[in-house]
Amino acid sequence: DTGVSQNPRHKITKRGQNVTFRCDPISEHNRLYWYRQTLGQGPEFLTYFQNEAQLEKSRLLSDRFSAERPKGSFSTLEIQRTEQGDSAMYLCASSHGHGGNEQFFGPGTRLTVL
């Protein structure tokens, strides 16, 4: 399977705990994106990487959120001191580059904060 993969698919945690999600993009894609999607809404942009460089972060990404892509391949998104408002689907996507190249999405990680 050469699509975008995300792990875990589901995560249930207690408020105040830290969580980390992983995204493995399509291997030849140099751009990687993180989005958050809540029920009934479209995905909201969080951040993106070109190779290992994090080029943009949304203001939605508070200081409790951090993302890395250390070798320009897989990426991790960590949420520290989770809050109930962090409950959402976290989507990862990758693409060759910008312009007309569509983003290919992974299946998402659904986070539930109790």
Told to check if 106 binds another protein by CB under 8 A, we report: yes
Our CB check for another protein shows the closer of 74 and 105 to be: 105
CB of 38 to another protein, least distance (A): 10
Our CB check for another protein shows the closer of 82 and 103 to be: 103
Cβ contacts of 59 within 8 Å, gap of 6 or more: none
Backbone angles phi, psi at 71, to 5 degrees: -115, 15
Helix (H, G, I), strand (E, B) or coil at 59: coil
| Kind plus residue range of the DSSP H or E element containing 67 | strand 65-68
- Which residues are near another protein by CB under 8 A? 31, 33, 35, 40-45, 48, 50, 55-56, 58, 89, 91, 93, 97-100, 102-108, 110
